[in-house]
């Protein structure tokens, strides 16, 4: 069984999903790939992981760096999960580029190179927005690129963390 809950953020509604133990989804309502881990057979329920996620989001939207991550349940391909694990390592208030992640993935996979576009596809399908900080990934020369929640939300998340110096 899958469960969902709702959170009202300063940037709009957020839907949370869980398998009962771990957070499996967190999407801005209406974003691209919304509900990608949902099957259509969910029920609204209060869960410990939802309480932890709300606490994380409250801290984050107050401009604080949460010192924990709710338990995540990422069921996906090896490649996407590896990219998402790298995203979790991007420090609060800092950014990286698709190219830098591609270089790191290439090294991890024993390859000489990796496509930044392949990394971009994995980043774009991140089912746990904000907590897995895909908004901290910029294009080459610090350019803003797509964000499943919308560029406006990406800009606001970056500003919330005190990040500037990107190109619109």
Would you please indicate which residues are annotated as catalytic (active-site) residues?
A: 134
Task: Give me the DSSP letters along 22-43.
Answer: SEEEEEETT-TTTTTT--S-EE
143: β partners: 167
**Token pair for residue 50?**
């939802």
Residue 142 per-residue DSSP state: G
- Three-state SS at 148: coil
In angstroms, what CA-CA distances link 150 with 11, 62, 100, 101, 144?
A: 11, 21, 22, 21, 11
Q: Are the CB atoms for 164 and 136 separated by under 8 Å?
A: no
How many Cα atoms sit within 13 Å of 100 on the Cβ side? 14
């Amino acid at each position: 069984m899958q469960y969902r809950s709702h959170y009202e953020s300063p940037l709009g509604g957020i839907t949370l999903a869980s398998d009962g133990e771990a957070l499996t989804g967190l999407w801005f309502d209406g974003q691209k790939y919304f509900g990608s881990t949902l099957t259509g057979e969910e029920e609204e329920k209060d869960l410990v992981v939802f309480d932890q996620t709300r606490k994380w989001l409250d801290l984050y939207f107050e401009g604080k760096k949460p010192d924990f991550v709710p338990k995540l349940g990422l069921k996906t391909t090896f490649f996407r999960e590896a990219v998402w694990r790298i995203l979790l390592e991007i420090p609060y208030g800092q950014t990286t580029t698709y190219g830098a992640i591609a270089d790191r993935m290439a090294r991890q996979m024993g390859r000489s190179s990796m496509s930044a576009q392949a990394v971009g596809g994995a980043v774009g399908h991140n089912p746990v927005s904000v907590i897995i900080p895909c908004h901290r990934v910029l294009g080459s020369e610090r350019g803003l690129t797509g964000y499943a929640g919308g560029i406006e939300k990406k800009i606001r998340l970056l500003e919330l963390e005190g990040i500037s110096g990107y190109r619109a």
